[in-house]
Structure 1
Amino acid sequence: MKLLIVSDSHGLQEELLTIRERHADVDKMIHCGDSELPQDSKEMSAFLGVRGNCDYDASYVNDRVESLGEATCLVTHGHLYNVKMSMMNLHYKAREVGANVVCFGHSHIAGAELMDGVLFINPGSMLLPRMRKERTYAILVMDGTEATVQFYDISGKHIPSMQLTCTLSA
C-alpha cells in the first residue's frame, strides 16, 4: 500500500495537481486539512480530505478512519486535538478508534514518529513550513506492518534525512 499525504496547502491549486500527477502510482491520496478549497474541486477530487481550521466547506468531516491494507489510519487536521501543545489527545483518539497510523497537520511542522506502535505522520505544509525551509509532503509505503515514510519538497526532491522506517502495532 502506498499513500500520498499532504496538508496545509492553503489555497494552492496547481501545486496539488502537479503532486497528484507526479505520484499517480499511489493507492490513496490523503489531505490533512486546510486546503481552503471546496471538497468537490478538481484539485481535491482524488484526495480523502478532512476539515481544517481554515476550511469553510462544511461537507468535509473532522476525522476519518480508513482501512489501508494491514493498517487502520486516522486522518485529522489536528486543531481539535491541540497538536501544537501535545500529542497526547491525538494519541488517545488513535487508541480509541484502533488506528496504528495517524495522519495530521495544523502545526506545519513535517515529521514522522512511532509512539507505542502507532505511526504519527505530519507531512508539513505545502505553503508555509515551520522548523525547516522546505515546503513538504510525504509518501507512506506499507508492506504488512512494515512502514516507510519518505518526505519530499514541493518540487519532488526526496529529503533522505527525514525518512523513517518502522514496524506498526498489529
Structure 2
Amino acid sequence: MSKILIVSDSHGSTELLEELKSRHASEVDMMIHCGDSELEKEDEALAGFTVVKGNCDFFGDFPEEALLEIDGYRIFVTHGHLHSVKSNLLSLSYRAEEAGASIICFGHSHLLGAEIIGGSLFINPGSIRLPRGRRERTYVILELKQGRAYLRVYDHDRGEITSLSQEFTLPAPR
C-alpha cells in the first residue's frame, strides 16, 4: 500500500505547501506538484516534492515532465499546458501511453477531476490557491492498494471532502 499527495497550481504560495507538508508528509510515500508553483527549484517549500514546470514557472529550472514508479505502477506527471488539457486529454493520453504510464497527474486548468481513460487513471488535483469551478482549494491523496486506487479529495481549509472521494480499479502494474 502506498499513498501519494498530489497538488498543483500553488502560484507562489510557500505557506500552502508548507502546511500540506506538515499535515501529510509523515503519512504519504510520495509528494507530487503538477506545476505552476512559481517558486525557484531550491525553495524549501518544494523540498520533498517531485515538481514539473508549468506555464507560469519562469524562475525554477524544472523538467517539463516526470516519470515515477511506485508499487509497480508508472506515474506520468506534467503540467498539461503542452498537451492542451483545457481542450481535451487526447494528446496527454498519447504521451502517457508512450511513457507506459497507468497513472497520469496534471494541472493547468485549475479544475478538479479524475477519470479512467483507456485503462489509465487521469488525475487533476485542481488548484490549491486559485480554484476554478468551485470555491474549495483542492488537493488529493491517492492510495494504491491491491489493484485499487482510492482518491481522497481535500479542501485546504476544511479537510477531506468525502462526497468527492472516489475508488477506481487499476490494471495490473506494467
Q: Which category of TM-score, normalised to the shorter sequence, fits these structures? A: over 0.9
Distance 1:12 1:34 in 2: 10
Q: Which residue of structure 2 lines up, in the alignment, with residue 40 of structure 1?
A: 42
Equivalent of residue 31 in structure 1, options 33, 56, 70:
33
Distance 2:10 2:142 in 1: 18
Where does structure 2 lack aligned partners over 5 or more consecutive residues? none
Counterpart check, 1:96 vs 2:128: no
Distance 1:76 1:57 in 2: 17
CA deviation vs aligned residue, 1:124-165 (integer Å, no higher than 9, x gap)? 001111111101000000013210111101125111121111
8 Å contact from structure 2 (residues 40, 60) kept in 1: no
Q: Which residue of structure 1 lines up, in the alignment, with residue 56 of structure 2?
A: 54
- Show the 5 A alignment for 1:49-128: 49-128=51-130
2:94 aligned counterpart, secondary structure? helix
Q: Which residue of structure 2 lines up, in the alignment, with residue 17 of structure 1?
A: 18
Q: Tell me which stretches of 4 or more aligned residues in structure 1 moved more than 6 Å.
A: none
Counterparts in 2 of 1:58 and 1:127: CA distance versus 1, 3 Å: closer
Counterpart check, 1:158 vs 2:160: yes
Read off the aligned partner of 2:34 and give its amino acid letter.
C
Percent identity (aligned): 47
Distance 2:146 2:100 in 1: 16
Distance 1:130 1:158 in 2: 18
When the two chains are superposed, the root-mean-square deviation of aligned CA atoms in Å is: 1.0
Deviation of 1:92 (Å): 0.7
CA deviation vs aligned residue, 1:36-72 (integer Å, no higher than 9, x gap)? 0011110001100000000013520000110111211
Counterparts in 2 of 1:56 and 1:4: CA distance versus 1, 3 Å: same
Aligned length: 170
Q: Which residue of structure 2 lines up, in the alignment, with residue 136 of structure 1?
A: 138
Distance 1:163 1:87 in 2: 21
8 Å contact from structure 2 (residues 140, 152) kept in 1: yes
